[in-house]
Chain A
Amino acid sequence: MVTLNVNGKQLQADVDADTPILWALRDTLGMTGTKFGCGMALCGACTVHLDGAPIRSCMTPVSAAEGRKITTIESMSASRVGKAVQAAWVKHDVPQCGYCQSGQIMSAAALLASNAKPTDRDIDAAMSGNVCRCGTYNQIRAAIKDAAATLSA
């Protein structure tokens, strides 16, 4: 049994310490917004924030999260940055199949929380760990810039 702080709530999860955060979230806590793509931190679909920093939850065991704060897509609208990112995603109608977009949004929100005016290079660096098989990269870039403009207004 581990105690996880997820989106501001203390939750008990009956899982082994080596269980990746992803599966504790999805299978034990029933929060399915965070997606499984590769299981090897190669695609970014499972990105969540741990104490505000983006991590790949498919490779990070719950033992690494004890006493720390996990933030997922389910609570993005509760933060100013998350809200702006989601609004920009809607404005640009970014998703196609949409499966990677939770992870894309989590990476983008983490980028904007630490860098208010990211350059194209900053965006490349922050987002190149997130694969989109539908190829929405140009729309993601545009949405990030739009969210940055909203946040600095």
Chain B
Amino acid sequence: MRTAFKPSRRNFLKTSGLVIGFALPGAQRLAEAATPAEFKPNAYLRVGADDRVTVVVGLSEMGQGVHTAIPQLVAEELDADWTRVRVEQAPVDEAYKNPIFGIQATGGSTSVNGNWGPMRKAGAAAREMLVAAAAQTWKVDASECRTEKGAVVHKSGKKLSYGKLVAAASKQPVPKEPKLKDASEFKIIGQNLRRLDTPQKVNGSGKYGLDVRLPGMLTAVLAQPPVPGGKAVSVDDSKAKQVKGVRQVIQIPQGVAVLADGYWQAKKGRDALQIQWDKGANAGLSSEGVTKMLTEATQQEGKVARNEGSVGSASGAKTLEAVYEAPYLAHACMEPMNATAWVKKDGIEIWAGTQSQGPNQGILSHVGSVDPKQVKVNTMLLGGGFGRRFAPDFTIAATVLSKMAGKPVKLVYSREDDMRAYFYRPASVTRFAAGLDESGKPVSFTARVASPSIMEASGFMKLPPDGVDSFAVEGVKDVPYDIPNLRVEYSRQEPGVQVWFWRSVGHSQNIFFSESFIDELANAAGKDPFEFRRSLLGKQPRYKGVLELAAERAGWGKPLPQGVHRGIAVAQSFGSYVAEVAEVSVDKDGRPKVHRVVAAVDCGEVVNPEIVKRQCESAIVFGLTAALYGKITFKDGQVEQGNFDTYPMLRMSEMPKVEVYIVKSKEHATGMGEPGLPALAPAVTAAIYKATGKRIRKLPINPEALKA
């Protein structure tokens, strides 16, 4: 039996396995709470007497389409009428634990991967109960009944819609091992069904965290320390308190908060604060210093992440060495971080666009000194997540403020606050060395990665005994090519900045590093970069499959318009395989223009092909934005970027054509929220090399260095 792809690095979160959720105590309790007018066989779905099917999803919708894909899984096995399916955000409960994480949280491209089995079983169990109910009503054998589009049909032609079976189905025993469909029977899985969340997102009615309004609520804006780890030593709030609408000024560990009737007053008040900061140990932090620290670390031996053969004894006829670098990056979700907290006598209620409602329940119970059961987390729509909303900084601060103010408090980060609140993708440097034999075949490959540890920064993981942060080396450690002598090392370096998960995590920089260096090897071997990779992927059919499909669809080797060049790269992340071909030109000022990106994807069985394609395209835009513009830099301890003028985003006029092709696959379904990202930068910079002969080894791409 195929099981979910479980990245080993996620095993820190003891997995609960792919246990069907409604076997869990929590699920049963929720099921019993159903009203008689509804059939509620488990925590994941309800059928109403009006035939309406409500799928209850514990995962956060941040654009990735999970509030459509999960209902598709349930509806398929339920044989629901899709036009009657709606989705509802679940509360925090055991039943909604992410099967891969073992906690209720959304990230790591795990949603479809982990729920492929459980959510189908939830639908299948309900279907069997509805069939049993109809058979009982008709006094026939269940084997004489089938289901279609929200109804049970008897072989005689008699038909009862699910809504009419609500009461009878509720009395049926819950089957433990309901029979699942064969993929050939799918009618809903694999279809380009419309997203269930679209209507509310085109008429302004969808409610994001920032849209929460409570009676008596104050809005808080925070003055954060200007340097990581800094502390306010004196606060003069006299001017802030003169601002109309400002009600309170409260100092908390994260900074100094001004609470007012609304955002504008709170921000004016915050800007009027006069604070003396102790900048602490990071007052001298600079990006030059970070680069130096990381680069020097790669000159020393690190902790061994992978070691095959003996790199020392196989240098090859031709040797290459290169050092690659990637900067800190902010997520820059369109909706700045915010949360609304209400600490009441009998518990805490929080409203937030969060990726980690489960952990938040526990964390906030500590903040408020209450039992976790007394913490109610309301998950709102997320205006972007990308990993940032896995962090609890904003929910903690909002809860502390509500507790101290004695009122509901909505904490809102301004764009600048959001960009300067750290939680960055780590800066990283990797030093490569490789040897090619006379025929141009690589015989040795060494990579030394130096970067901060996300595991240690996360607050819920520790570096394992081998000292290797798997997030820091993913994408380099698992270089898939057939190279006999291979060694990857990691050196943990901590410049002092809080780092965090960023869309595709370590792959976001490491695939740029490793695939670019592979491109260098191909070039040194005098071989075509596509053919070079293909020749080294004999043992990797899924890598090879996407590589070949992308090359074919892109017309690899065929002529291009004057000045346009192609680059190619391939990556696996989160169990999904993606190859990308970028078509790029560089103008005389050194500015690259990406005209077209062709991607090929193998993410196993596909729930909704259009959503897979859109997620791939979305990740391509995210990767391109980072490659062209993305950098968070430090000077005298302070972040130099603050808003979209200094941290630019890709815009409509720069958008390339994107084509995404999906490999037909019977492999276990894996996620696509992130895997489209890693191959983009190396494909683009490989094309730039073709265009200019200049190798980009540091992101973002610097046009100055590419000037003709």
Secondary structure call for the B interface: loop
Identity of the chain A residue whose Cβ is nearest the Cβ of B382 in the assembled complex: A97
Decide if B643 touches A40 in the complex (CB within 8 Å).
yes
Decide if B333 touches A34 in the complex (CB within 8 Å).
no
Q: How far is the CA of A122 from the CA of B643 in the complex (A)?
A: 26
What's the nearest-Cβ distance from chain A to residue B501, in Å?
16
Answer yes or no: B635 CB below 8 A from chain A CBs: no
Decide if B264 touches A128 in the complex (CB within 8 Å).
no
Decide if A36 touches B643 in the complex (CB within 8 Å).
no
Decide if B334 touches A37 in the complex (CB within 8 Å).
yes
Decide if B63 touches A33 in the complex (CB within 8 Å).
no
Decide if A40 touches B204 in the complex (CB within 8 Å).
no
Identity of the chain A residue whose Cβ is nearest the Cβ of B68 in the assembled complex: A93
Identity of the chain B residue whose Cβ is nearest the Cβ of A37 in the assembled complex: B334
Decide if A27 touches B334 in the complex (CB within 8 Å).
no
Residue interface bits A112-143, CB-to-B below 8 A is 1, else 0: 00000000000111011111111111111100
Decide if A43 touches B334 in the complex (CB within 8 Å).
yes
Answer yes or no: A45 CB below 8 A from chain B CBs: yes
Residue interface bits B651-668, CB-to-A below 8 A is 1, else 0: 111010110000000000
Decide if B197 touches A43 in the complex (CB within 8 Å).
no
Decide if A131 touches B651 in the complex (CB within 8 Å).
yes
Q: How far is the CA of A64 from the CA of B133 in the complex (A)?
A: 65
Decide if A93 touches B194 in the complex (CB within 8 Å).
yes
From the candidates B207, B334, B336, name the one contacting A97 in the complex (CB within 8 A): B334
Decide if B199 touches A90 in the complex (CB within 8 Å).
yes
Answer yes or no: A32 CB below 8 A from chain B CBs: yes
Decide if B618 touches A135 in the complex (CB within 8 Å).
yes
- By size class, the interface of chain B is 35 or more
| Residues of the B chain whose Cβ atoms lie less than 8 Å from the Cβ of A123 | 652
Decide if A40 touches B415 in the complex (CB within 8 Å).
yes
Answer yes or no: B335 CB below 8 A from chain A CBs: yes
Decide if B649 touches A133 in the complex (CB within 8 Å).
yes
Answer yes or no: A67 CB below 8 A from chain B CBs: no
Known: A38-B643, A96-B64. A32 touches B207 (CB 8 A): yes
Answer yes or no: B150 CB below 8 A from chain A CBs: no
| Residues of the A chain whose Cβ atoms lie less than 8 Å from the Cβ of B261 | 27
Q: How far is the CA of A34 from the CA of B65 in the complex (A)?
A: 22
What's the nearest-Cβ distance from chain A to residue B414, in Å?
6
Identity of the chain B residue whose Cβ is nearest the Cβ of A74 in the assembled complex: B204
Identity of the chain B residue whose Cβ is nearest the Cβ of A102 in the assembled complex: B204
Q: How far is the CA of A48 from the CA of B617 in the complex (A)?
A: 28
Decide if B645 touches A95 in the complex (CB within 8 Å).
no
Q: How far is the CA of A26 from the CA of B383 in the complex (A)?
A: 16
Decide if B415 touches A98 in the complex (CB within 8 Å).
no
From the candidates A27, A32, A98, name the one contacting B197 in the complex (CB within 8 A): A98
What's the nearest-Cβ distance from chain A to residue B219, in Å?
7
Identity of the chain B residue whose Cβ is nearest the Cβ of A92 in the assembled complex: B198
Q: How far is the CA of A99 from the CA of B211 in the complex (A)?
A: 11
Answer yes or no: B384 CB below 8 A from chain A CBs: yes
Q: How far is the CA of A131 from the CA of B334 in the complex (A)?
A: 8
| Residues of the B chain whose Cβ atoms lie less than 8 Å from the Cβ of A38 | 415, 643-644
A90-B202, A97-B62 are known contacts; what are 4 more A-B pairs with Cβ within 8 Å? A73-B204, A95-B201, A125-B653, A130-B652
Provide 13 A-B residue pairs closer than 8 Å at the C-beta atoms, listed in order of the A residue: A27-B219, A33-B203, A39-B414, A43-B334, A43-B644, A86-B202, A95-B195, A96-B63, A99-B384, A100-B334, A125-B653, A131-B651, A133-B649
Interface residue ranges, B against A (CB under 8 Å): 62-65, 194-195, 197-208, 210-211, 213, 219, 244, 261-264, 267, 332-336, 381-386, 412, 414-415, 610, 614, 617-622, 643-645, 649-653, 655, 657-658
